[in-house]
């Protein structure tokens, strides 16, 4: 059976996903093209050998619309033989792109592909997405879709998590990121963004709040206080009637803020690496995409991880490092509790609460962080798991080679 | 049918006058009548001899919707859809030819009648506070289906249109102007016609906003990010308010949202499709049955003793200026009655007067009444500390503290000052009327009038017949309750009468579930999801657990050796006697009460441990509803209540039995009698004899009858 290898991963620095972002002036298409150019350069890549570019993007409108993968290939002067595709599996999209590329290679249809994601949230706001799941009153009430913040509070309530626990989790995530930053752990993957005159625009992550104190986190008031919930609680309790009422616990500081980023992963089979002289860094062991109940939404990652472990015939203790998306603290804490993971093994360089979340790119970013950190700590096996809207979950296990 | 008159300035007045009927009624056949008129108008227009059209009525009303009877019996979606389209087409033909039409509204225009008015380019209404306008369809589970929703969307914008369409309100002219569904008001008929003409002479625009190239929906469409957020909020609020049990407001919201994203004609097609779907939903059928047919049956006096002339009370005495007395006082003066409000001292009585004042001020603020009306109505209250002041009252209502002695004294004090034709009514909730009547000089004139809190909001009153209460007194009490604008139900003088007695079974069933080891939050949430206004445990706390127990003890006394103890009694006793948690009044019951709100008492699990593992949601919901329905059937069998309409409406307005079911008896009709009996037997086997099938139900099964 063909094995699928990861040769390289890279990403842009994290920009704040608002008008204050250093990347606000940069077009989404530029973020992605600059990644392509960097990937080509550092791997001395003959782009004709690349069969496809698969790009995850959660808000594919405006400057990210019209198959941004194909447009970026053209803009980066890659071979015109590459078709390019943009996909959306909500917050798992970046990892879903890697999974899809891997599947094509595993099937033997293709030898080498690039996958990843893009989200310029400073330019293109979440509100631009007005799909039926979140804005058609008929569908919303029929299926019971609620904002993810209320779903996160629902999990916190069901698990009896205190605000203190959530805040501590958030504080730890940021501390880990600060340390990783100071020690330059991200240098392998992050490519600085320059303008057309080679003047730097953003060279490293600007989103990590290095000065934050635990007090600053704890004094934050909830983002979804009862007065702001309209009827979302009632929708949630229709499915979870054992809960009396949902306690608002998540605040601005124990959730991930929107961010700008683009990330790429180069994947292929063993044969191709020989021809092109590429050195494999990791191998994909197992991948699973699943979906759980919609309303609670953040449990997809847990279920996906369970299934992936089972498919790889592994136990949680066999995993050296874990990477998960941290949209909200409670689901992350629940993930940690479910698999009994030690703090230092989960998101060891910090997570989205520290960096921000660039939706469509996030899966590819976290995969890169995981590989970098496994290599740095000279460990072998890592698992990445993501939860997304609609109850979707995706997980992947990799091994350093 | 349609009178045609053209004046020298080329303005045509069309006067609707449906010959045989008392009222003008609009329905799907209307197009037939109008077709020749429209054809003629089009010809006039082509010739250039038509400036504009005034549409008015030759009847007391402008136009009423007349589709309910038809809709209640039709079963073919294709036909309903076709009829809806044909009315649509007619309205389009009226507004489309490019000649401005003014609706000169000289009477009420509701439902489809108001859709007609909306299809005119301009609406002028006579300033008469008896006139009602708007779309109350939602109150019978329906929605406008002939372009009314789409036109309001374009006139008011999505959010405002949603409010007007879902609050079920019938607007007075001043209110309608304020909310924006009409364009102007005229002091009288003559002035209205002049205004209409003036408008036509100064306006050539015969195209509605949606027929103009630059026309826009105010506030934006559902594609606008800001509106999209509003939609999300509205959908969630709706879900909280209805627990998805009421398809009508949901269909209205869907129509508005989808309609905002397409052109006008496509939007009205979407509207017709939702309307058709809605018309055939069981919830709609139930609601039409109860809120239209049952309501009309009561209005016509199904439960009023025959042979007595109409009683027109002019002056009412109220004893007690507490929350009930104040509410009764306010309700009476609002309906134009004079009130003598008495309490132990004049300053205390003044408190009740102040309550009425505050409410009148609020009515002025929302445009329901004018400032002059406020003064007139307010001056109808006289406060007093002396029973002598009841001398000219036609009826005296005692609303003092729930205590036999106190009530007897109030009765004796007042009765000697009122004449032998006057009624004396007591507002009691748990003391037998027959017993209270023992203190009366004229027990035949003594009756129970059980109002519910808040009086001005709850549209139901229980008329309680004591053993000696005369038929004439009942008939007069009935007329009085109608004058107050409320729905009277006549009930027997048994414990809890009808409402409190049946409501108690919901509470008891909830407590039984707790005792059986179900989590309290589940009991409360499923009660709400079943359509009840509160969880059973919250109900118990609000009423007080002692009162719940008292009613059950009264039931025990009533049935004597036949009484089968309710399993909830043990838990109730434990809460009241051992744990001293009697409810909200004591700030400790099934709930804890804090400044931030109430929470289920955390120690409940300690005393009533959760032992059940399977939570069959549907089963639990049905148990809670069945308990009430069966008790209501017992009430019918024991003649506590005597008609189906009273039982249905009493259950909805009295204690909040879910309206989408159409009430306790319509619930059985809708469930299917055989299915219902089968389920009762299953519940009886699993949960106890309180679910046994009452005799009259078995009888109905034998005779193949339904509740009607």
Question: Are the beta carbons of B563 and B555 closer than 8 angstroms?
Answer: yes
Residue of B159, B226, B237, B239 best to disrupt the A interface, most CBs of A under 10 A = B239
Residue B168 has pLDDT above 90, yes or no: yes
Residue B472 lies in a domain: yes
**Are residues B198 and B54 part of one domain?**
yes
Residue A382 has pLDDT above 70, yes or no: yes
Question: Is the Cβ of B238 closer than 8 Å to some Cβ of chain A?
Answer: yes
- Kindly state the tokens that stand for A375: 């290599």
Question: Are the beta carbons of A352 and A325 closer than 8 angstroms?
Answer: yes
Q: In A27-120, where do the E strands start and end?
A: 52-56, 85-87, 112-120
CATH classification at residue B80:
3.90.226.10
Question: Is the Cβ of B1 closer than 8 Å to some Cβ of chain A?
Answer: no
Q: What is the predicted pLDDT for the residue at A299? A: 97
Residue B663 lies in a domain: no
Q: Residue B235 is nearest to which of A127, A137, A245, comparing CB atoms?
A: A137
Cα gap A351→A372, rounded to integer Å: 14
Length of chain A: 401
Å between A220 CA and nearest CA of chain B:
19
Mean pLDDT, range B567-571, rounded to an integer: 96
Cα gap A15→B160, rounded to integer Å: 40
Cα gap A396→B259, rounded to integer Å: 44
Question: Are the beta carbons of A258 and A357 closer than 8 angstroms?
Answer: yes
Tell me: the pLDDT tens digits for B624-669?
999 999 999 999 999 999 999 999 999 999 999 999 999 999 999 9
**Are residues B161 and B96 part of one domain?**
yes
Tell me: the pLDDT tens digits for A233-282?
999 999 999 999 999 999 999 999 999 999 999 999 999 888 999 999 99
**Are residues B503 and B487 part of one domain?**
no
Q: Residue B521 is nearest to which of A125, A127, A241, comparing CB atoms?
A: A241
Question: Are the beta carbons of B590 and B604 closer than 8 angstroms?
Answer: yes
Question: Is the Cβ of B220 closer than 8 Å to some Cβ of chain A?
Answer: no
**Are residues B199 and B70 part of one domain?**
yes
Domain count along chain B? 3
Å between A140 CA and nearest CA of chain B:
7
Contacts B590 to A, Cβ<8 Å? none
Question: Are the beta carbons of B195 and B186 closer than 8 angstroms?
Answer: yes
- Kindly state the tokens that stand for B416: 């000697």
Q: Is B416 exposed, middle or buried (0-12, 13-18, 19+ CB in 10 A)?
A: exposed
CATH classification at residue B376:
3.40.50.720
Residues of A with CB under 8 A from a CB of B: 125, 127-128, 130, 134-138, 140-142, 146, 229-235, 237-238, 241-245
DSSP-assigned beta bridge partners for residue B662? none
CB atoms closer than 10 angstroms to residue B704: 7
CA nearest to A325, candidates A261, A269, A279:
A261
Residue B570 lies in a domain: yes
CA nearest to A228, candidates A328, A147, A130, A326:
A147
Residue B626 lies in a domain: yes
Angle, to 10 degrees, between the axis of helix B148-156 and the axis of helix B247-260?
Answer: 60
Which is more confidently placed, B267 or A126? B267
Averaged pLDDT of chain B: 94
Contacts A135 to B, Cβ<8 Å? 222, 228, 231-232
Question: Are the beta carbons of A324 and A384 closer than 8 angstroms?
Answer: yes
Q: Do B600 and A244 touch (CB under 8 A)?
A: yes
**Are residues B590 and B538 part of one domain?**
yes
DSSP A309-371: HHHTT--GGG-SEEEE--SBHHHHHHHHHHHT--GGGBSTT--HHHH-B-HHHHHHHHHHHHH
The residue from B264, B280, B296 where one domain ends is B280
Please tell me which residue of chain B has the smallest CA distance to A129: B225
Q: Strand pairing of B101-105 and B122-126?
A: parallel
- Kindly state the tokens that stand for B684: 């009886």
**Are residues B325 and B196 part of one domain?**
no
Mean pLDDT, range B546-553, rounded to an integer: 95
Residue B50 lies in a domain: yes
Å between A328 CA and nearest CA of chain B:
21
A15 phi/psi in degrees, rounded to 5: -105, 150
Tell me: the pLDDT tens digits for B384-430?
999 999 999 999 999 998 889 999 999 999 999 999 999 999 998 88
Question: Are the beta carbons of A52 and A101 closer than 8 angstroms?
Answer: yes
**Are residues B263 and B127 part of one domain?**
yes
For the four alpha carbons of A176, A181, A187 and A189, in that order, the dihedral sign comes to positive
Tell me: the pLDDT tens digits for B502-520?
999 999 999 999 999 999 9
Q: In B431-574, where do the E strands start and end?
A: 446-451, 460-465, 487-492
Q: Residue A234 is nearest to which of B243, B250, B526, comparing CB atoms?
A: B243
Question: Is the Cβ of B253 closer than 8 Å to some Cβ of chain A?
Answer: yes
Cα gap B227→A137, rounded to integer Å: 12
Q: What is the predicted pLDDT for the residue at B37? A: 87
Residue of A231, A239, A243, A248 best to disrupt the B interface, most CBs of B under 10 A = A231
Task: Tell me if the pTM is above 0.80.
Answer: yes
Q: What is the predicted pLDDT for the residue at B64? A: 79
The residue from B468, B492, B516 where one domain ends is B492
Question: Are the beta carbons of B402 and B430 closer than 8 angstroms?
Answer: yes
User: Which of these ranges, A29-38, A130-139, A300-309, B333-342, has the smallest mean pLDDT?
Assistant: A130-139
Q: What is the predicted pLDDT for the residue at B46? A: 86
Averaged pLDDT of chain A: 96
Q: What angle do CA B663, B665, B669 make, to 5 degrees?
A: 110
- Kindly state the tokens that stand for B25: 């009624």
**Are residues B258 and B170 part of one domain?**
yes
Q: Strand pairing of B487-492 and B460-465?
A: parallel
The residue from B253, B280, B307 where one domain ends is B280
Q: How many helices (H) and strands (E) does chain A have?
A: 14, 12
Cα gap A103→A100, rounded to integer Å: 5
Q: Do A141 and B250 touch (CB under 8 A)?
A: yes
Cα gap B505→B34, rounded to integer Å: 55
Question: Are the beta carbons of B135 and B189 closer than 8 angstroms?
Answer: no
**Are residues B565 and B444 part of one domain?**
no
- pLDDT-derived band at A35 (thresholds 50, 70, 90) equals very high
Cα gap A144→B408, rounded to integer Å: 56
Which is more confidently placed, B98 or B112? B112
Q: Do A130 and B526 touch (CB under 8 A)?
A: no
Percentage of the residues of chain B whose pLDDT score is greater than 90: 86
CATH classification at residue B503:
1.10.1040.50
Kindly report the three-state secondary structure assignment for every residue of B655-676. Answer: HCCCHHHCCHHHHHHHHCHHHH
- N-terminal to C-terminal alpha carbon distance within chain A: 17
Q: What is the predicted pLDDT for the residue at A257? A: 97
3-state secondary structure of B341: strand
Cα gap B67→B43, rounded to integer Å: 31
Contacts A235 to B, Cβ<8 Å? 236, 239-240
**Are residues B616 and B531 part of one domain?**
yes
Mean pLDDT, range B213-218, rounded to an integer: 94
Mean pLDDT, range A278-287, rounded to an integer: 97
Q: Do B617 and A146 touch (CB under 8 A)?
A: no
B272 membership: H or E segment, kind and range: helix B264-279
Residue recorded with tokens 């605040």: A251
Q: What is the predicted pLDDT for the residue at A226? A: 82
Put residue A184 in one of left, alpha, beta given phi > 0 → left and psi -120 to 50 → alpha.
Answer: left
Q: Do B234 and A242 touch (CB under 8 A)?
A: no
For the four alpha carbons of B342, B348, B353 and B358, in that order, the dihedral sign comes to negative
CA nearest to B2, candidates B10, B24, B334:
B24
Half-sphere exposure of residue A175: CA atoms within 13 angstroms, side-chain side: 11
Å between B680 CA and nearest CA of chain A:
25
Residue B658 lies in a domain: no
Residue B287 lies in a domain: no
Q: What is the predicted pLDDT for the residue at B29? A: 67
Chain centroid offset of residue A305 CA: 15
Residue B33 lies in a domain: yes
Contacts B599 to A, Cβ<8 Å? 244-245
Please tell me which residue of chain A has the smallest CA distance to B519: A242
- ipTM, two decimals: 0.91
Residue of B254, B520, B525 best to disrupt the A interface, most CBs of A under 10 A = B525
Question: Is the Cβ of B612 closer than 8 Å to some Cβ of chain A?
Answer: no
Q: Residue B236 is nearest to which of A130, A138, A232, comparing CB atoms?
A: A232
Q: Do A137 and B257 touch (CB under 8 A)?
A: yes
**Are residues B504 and B470 part of one domain?**
no
Contacts A134 to B, Cβ<8 Å? 232
Q: Residue B254 is nearest to which of A134, A137, A238, comparing CB atoms?
A: A137
DSSP B40-103: HHHHHHHHT---EEEEEESSSSSBEE--HHHHHH---HHHHHHHHHHHHHHHHHHHTTS--EEE
Q: What is the predicted pLDDT for the residue at B261? A: 96
Range of the structural domain that residue B455 is part of: 315-492
B244 phi/psi in degrees, rounded to 5: 60, 20
Please tell me which residue of chain B has the smallest CA distance to A143: B244
**Are residues B442 and B587 part of one domain?**
no
Q: What is the predicted pLDDT for the residue at B96? A: 77
DSSP B365-412: HTTSS-HHHHHHHHTTEEEES-GGGGTT-SEEEE---S-HHHHHHHHH
Q: Residue B241 is nearest to which of A229, A231, A233, comparing CB atoms?
A: A231
Query: How many A/B residue pairs have CB atoms within 8 Å?
Result: 87
Residue of B143, B226, B240 best to disrupt the A interface, most CBs of A under 10 A = B240
Cα gap B134→B170, rounded to integer Å: 5
What one-character DSSP code corresponds to residue B578?
I
Tell me: the pLDDT tens digits for B181-202?
999 999 999 999 999 999 999 9
3-state secondary structure of A145: coil
Mean pLDDT, range B275-292, rounded to an integer: 96
Length of chain B: 708
Question: Is the Cβ of B533 closer than 8 Å to some Cβ of chain A?
Answer: no
Q: Do B228 and A135 touch (CB under 8 A)?
A: yes
CA dihedral A14, A15, A16, A17 (to 10 degrees): -100
Q: Residue A136 is nearest to which of B240, B257, B599, comparing CB atoms?
A: B257
Tell me: the pLDDT tens digits for B2-31?
889 999 999 999 998 876 667 787 776 677
Q: Do A135 and B232 touch (CB under 8 A)?
A: yes
User: Which of these ranges, B63-77, B106-120, B163-177, has the smallest mean pLDDT?
Assistant: B63-77
């Amino acid at each position: 059976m063909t094995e699928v290898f990861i040769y390289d991963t890279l990403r842009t620095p994290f920009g704040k996903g608002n008008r204050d972002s250093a990347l606000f002036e940069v077009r989404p298409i530029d973020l992605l093209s600059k990644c392509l150019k960097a990937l080509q350069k550092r791997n001395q890549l003959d782009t004709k050998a690349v069969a496809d570019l698969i790009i995850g993007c959660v808000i594919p409108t405006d400057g990210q619309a019209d198959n941004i993968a194909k447009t970026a290939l053209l803009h980066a002067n890659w071979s015109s033989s590459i078709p390019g595709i943009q996909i959306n599996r909500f917050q798992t999209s970046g990892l879903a792109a890697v999974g899809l590329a891997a599947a094509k290679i595993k099937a033997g249809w293709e030898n080498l592909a690039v996958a990843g994601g893009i989200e310029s949230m400073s330019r293109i706001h979440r509100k631009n997405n007005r799909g039926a799941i979140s804005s058609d009153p008929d569908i919303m009430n029929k299926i019971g879709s609620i904002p993810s913040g209320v779903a996160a509070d629902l999990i916190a309530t069901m698990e009896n998590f205190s605000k203190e626990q959530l805040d501590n989790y958030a504080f730890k995530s940021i501390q880990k990121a600060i340390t990783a930053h100071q020690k330059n752990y991200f240098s392998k993957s992050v490519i600085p963004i320059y303008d057309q005159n080679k003047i730097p625009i953003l060279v490293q992550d600007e989103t990590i709040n290095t000065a934050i104190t635990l007090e600053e986190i704890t004094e934050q008031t909830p983002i979804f206080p009862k007065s702001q919930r309209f009827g979302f609680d009632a929708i949630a309790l229709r499915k979870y009637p054992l809960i009396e009422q949902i306690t608002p616990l998540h605040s601005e500081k124990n959730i991930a803020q929107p961010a700008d980023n683009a990330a790429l992963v180069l994947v292929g089979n063993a044969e191709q690496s020989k021809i092109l002289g590429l050195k494999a860094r990791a191998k994909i062991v197992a991948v699973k995409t699943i979906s759980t109940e919609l309303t609670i939404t953040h449990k997809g990652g847990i279920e996906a991880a369970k299934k992936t472990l089972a498919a790889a015939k592994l136990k949680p203790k066999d995993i050296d490092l874990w990477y998960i998306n941290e949209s909200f603290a409670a689901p992350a804490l629940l993930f940690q509790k479910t698999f009994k993971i030690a703090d230092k093994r989960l998101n060891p360089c910090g997570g989205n609460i520290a960096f921000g979340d660039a939706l469509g790119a996030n899966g590819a970013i976290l995969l890169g962080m995981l590989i970098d950190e496994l290599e740095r700590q000279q460990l072998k096996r890592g698992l990445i798991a993501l939860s997304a809207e609609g109850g979707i979950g995706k997980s992947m296990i990799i091994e350093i080679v | 049918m349609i009178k045609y008159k053209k004046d020298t300035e080329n303005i045509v007045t069309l006067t609707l006058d449906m010959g045989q009927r008392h009222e003008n009624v609009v329905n799907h056949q209307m197009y037939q009548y109008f077709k020749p008129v429209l054809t003629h108008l089009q010809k006039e227009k082509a010739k250039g001899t038509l400036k504009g059209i005034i549409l008015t009525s030759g009847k007391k009303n402008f136009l009423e919707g007349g589709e309910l009877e038809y809709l209640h019996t039709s079963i073919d979606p294709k036909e309903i859809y076709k009829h809806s389209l044909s009315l649509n087409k007619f309205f389009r033909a009226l507004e489309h030819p490019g000649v401005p039409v003014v609706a000169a509204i000289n009477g009420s225009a509701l439902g489809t009648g108001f859709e007609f008015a909306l299809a005119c380019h301009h609406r002028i209404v006579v300033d008469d506070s008896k006139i009602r306008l708007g779309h109350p369809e939602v109150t019978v589970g329906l929605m406008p289906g002939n372009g009314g929703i789409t036109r309001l969307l374009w006139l008011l914008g999505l959010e405002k249109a949603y409010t007007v369409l879902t609050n079920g309100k019938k607007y007075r002219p001043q209110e309608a102007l304020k909310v924006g569904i009409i364009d102007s008001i005229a002091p009288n008929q003559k002035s209205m016609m002049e205004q209409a003409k003036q408008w036509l002479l100064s306006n050539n625009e015969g195209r509605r906003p949606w027929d103009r190239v630059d026309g826009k929906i105010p506030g934006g469409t559902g594609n606008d990010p800001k509106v999209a957020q509003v939609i999300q909020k509205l959908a969630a609020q709706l879900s909280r308010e209805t627990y998805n049990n009421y398809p009508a407001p949901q269909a209205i919201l869907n129509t508005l949202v989808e309609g905002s994203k397409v052109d006008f004609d496509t939007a009205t097609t979407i509207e017709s499709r939702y309307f058709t779907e809605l018309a055939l939903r069981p919830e709609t059928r139930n609601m039409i049955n109860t809120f239209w047919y049952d309501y009309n049956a009561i209005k016509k006096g199904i439960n009023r003793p025959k042979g007595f002339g109409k009683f027109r009370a002019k002056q009412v005495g109220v004893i007690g200026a507490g929350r009930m007395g104040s509410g009764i006082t306010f309700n009476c003066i609002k309906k134009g009655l004079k009130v003598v409000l008495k309490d132990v001292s004049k300053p205390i009585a003044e408190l009740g007067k102040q309550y009425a004042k505050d409410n009148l001020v609020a009515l002025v603020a929302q445009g329901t009444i004018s400032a002059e009306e406020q003064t007139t109505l307010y001056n109808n209250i006289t406060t007093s500390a002396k029973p002598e002041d009841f001398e000219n009252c036609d009826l005296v209502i005692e609303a003092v503290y729930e205590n036999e002695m106190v009530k007897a004294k109030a009765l004796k004090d007042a009765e000697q000052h009122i004449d032998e034709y006057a009624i004396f009514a007591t507002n009691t909730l748990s003391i037998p009327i027959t017993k209270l009547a023992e203190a009366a000089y004229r027990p035949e004139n003594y009756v129970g009038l059980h109002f519910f809190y808040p009086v001005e909001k709850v549209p139901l009153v229980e008329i309680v017949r004591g053993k000696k209460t005369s038929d004439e007194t009942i008939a007069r009490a009935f007329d009085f309750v109608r004058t107050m604008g409320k729905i009277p139900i006549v009930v027997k003088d048994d414990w809890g009468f009808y409402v409190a007695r049946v409501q108690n079974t919901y509470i008891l069933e909830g407590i039984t579930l707790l005792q059986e080891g179900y989590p309290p939050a589940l009991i409360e949430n499923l009660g709400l999801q079943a359509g009840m206004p509160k969880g059973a445990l919250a109900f118990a706390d609000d009423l007080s657990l002692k009162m719940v127990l008292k009613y059950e003890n009264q039931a025990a006394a009533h049935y004597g050796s036949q009484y089968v103890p309710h399993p909830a009694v043990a838990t109730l006793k434990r809460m009241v006697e051992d744990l001293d948690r009697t409810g909200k009044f004591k700030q400790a019951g099934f709930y804890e009460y804090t400044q931030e709100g109430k929470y289920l008492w955390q120690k409940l699990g300690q005393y009533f441990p959760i032992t059940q593992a399977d939570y069959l949601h549907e089963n639990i919901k049905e148990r809670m509803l069945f308990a009430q329905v069966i008790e209501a059937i017992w009430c019918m069998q024991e003649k506590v209540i005597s008609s189906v309409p009273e039982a249905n409406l009493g259950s909805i307005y009295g204690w909040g039995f879910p309206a989408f079911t159409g009430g306790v008896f319509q619930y059985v009709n809708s469930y299917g009698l055989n299915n219902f009996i089968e389920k009762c037997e299953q519940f009886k086997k699993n949960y106890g004899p309180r679910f046994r099938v009452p005799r009259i139900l078995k009888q109905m099964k034998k005779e193949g009858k339904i509740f009607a």
